[in-house]
Structure 1
Amino acid sequence: MMLVDDLLAALEELHPTEQRDAYIRFVTASGDASLRRDGGPEHVTGSCFVLSPDVDRVLLCFHRKGRFWVQFGGHVEPQDASVADAAQREAREESGIADLTLISRAIVDLDRHDLHGGFSCAAHWDIGFVAVASPDVRISVSDESEDVRWFPVDDLPGDVPPGFESRLEKAVRAASSLRR
């Protein structure tokens, strides 16, 4: 339950919103199962927005199942000590940047989304974090993606999920304030 308690404490630190409160209710009601892929059709995932040092570019992957450009992320695994650790691990695996590190363990984004098509889950309660990497760093494509590429934050590709632009704006604002 420590992972659940830590997650609830991190959520409590966020400014109260209906969305934050819904996350708290979901995690409280589901307990440990909320953090396991096999814990039910809906569960928490961790994601990571990777931004350039001047926060004018974002590194995205073209998700093989989702068929869209999106930040890196995925399920919490047994070896992850926190959702932030899961987000960092997923970003490392999916970008090929082995030493990628979160600039903070502060939550910068909450996005619950229903899944369709090739997904075995019904919904993800995604919790987003942010990391910074140089656009010159060597990147690679994982099995879950078809491509990994840098984009200007103000000129994203057309095939991003609905609402992605506003989520990215929050991540950029958070990165800018966290790096001061």
Structure 2
Amino acid sequence: MSPVHDDAVAVLGAWDAPSADQSAIRYALLAFLAAREDACARACVPGHLTASALVVDAAGEHTLLTLHPRVGRWLQLGGHIEADDPTLRAAALREATEESGIDGLEISAAPVHLDVHPVTCSLGVPTRHLDVRYLVRAPEGATAVRSEESVDLRWWPLAELPDDVAFAWSVLTPPGPSARP
């Protein structure tokens, strides 16, 4: 097994899901990890874990979304786990930094949300992304810079997110200090 695979099992095994729906997804991801040594590799055609970052500004009032060129929707930052990513958390932070152009991001210790969704990703065939999402806080005055992976990049007020965003804004303001980066 790879270090990131082992980390994913440990992180998800210890994660206290905030709802029954999130608990069910957690168990599905753990079962997939148990069945597939390549569960964290984008080459895994039946599906693969991905790492995402729900980036909020320093005040916690806005989130940074990317207009994804392949999906055609506003999404959180994130993507495929790379072979040299040691942990899910490191993969999410790398993706957030690459896609936002912001240095000094602070990431939560544990995930805040899980999602499984069908997608045709870089494999060019239909697959599933088993997404592990972390809360990431940008430093005061951070200016985002769009990467080549995005059609657009924009800060959105939490109360005015696009209708088809893939998470509820309440995920960005989890209760308790443990989820805050």
TM range (shorter): 0.7 to 0.9
Deviation at 1:116, TM superposition (A): 4.3
Name segments (4+ residues, structure 1) moved above 6 Å.
Answer: none
**What is the match of residue 144 of structure 1?**
149
Structure 2 counterpart of 1:157, one-letter code = P
CA contact 1:109–1:171 (8 Å) conserved in 2:
no
- 2:79 paired with 1:78: no
Within 5 Å, which residues of 2 pair with 1:129-168?
129-134=134-139, 136-161=141-166, 164-165=167-168, 168=169
- Is the 2:110–2:179 Cα contact (8 Å) retained in structure 1? no
Question: Could you tell me the TM-score, scaled by structure 1's length?
Answer: 0.86
Deviations along 1:120-150, one digit per CA (max 9) or x if unpaired, are 2511000001111146312111111111111
**CA distance in 2 between partners of 1:135 and 1:73 (Å):** 21
Q: After superposition, give the CA deviation of every residue in 1:101-126 in whole Å (9 maximum; x if it has no partner).
A: 31x22011100101148862511000
Maintained 8 Å contact 2:4/2:85 = no
Quote the Cα distance in structure 1 between the aligned partners of 2:5 and 2:152: 33
Could you tell me how far apart the structure 2 residues matched to 1:15 and 1:158 are? 28
State the alpha-carbon separation in 1 of the partners of residues 158 and 173 from structure 2.
8
Aligned ranges for residues 80-99 of structure 1 at < 5 Å? Answer: 80-99=85-104
Can you give the 5+ residue segments of structure 1 that lack an aligned partner in the other structure?
none
TM-score (norm 2): 0.86
Higher helix share: 1
d(CA) in 2 for partners of 1:68 and 1:84?
Answer: 24
The one-letter amino acid paired with 1:107 is P
* Aligned residue identity for 1:178: A
Aligned partner of 1:60 among 34, 53, 65: 65
Q: Which residue of 14, 17, 26 maps to 2:32?
A: 26
Matched letter for residue 129 of structure 2 = H
Q: For the structure 1 residues 176 and 154, does the alpha-carbon distance in structure 2 shift closer, same or farther, using more than 3 Å as the test?
A: farther
Task: Kindly indicate whether residue 109 of structure 2 is the aligned counterpart of residue 105 of structure 1.
Answer: yes
Task: Look up the SS of the partner of 2:86 in the other structure.
Answer: coil
Show structure 2 runs of 5+ residues with no match.
Answer: 18-22
Q: Aligned with 2:134: secondary structure?
A: strand
State how far apart, in whole Å, the 2-side matches of 1:78 and 1:43 are.
13
Q: How many residues align?
A: 174
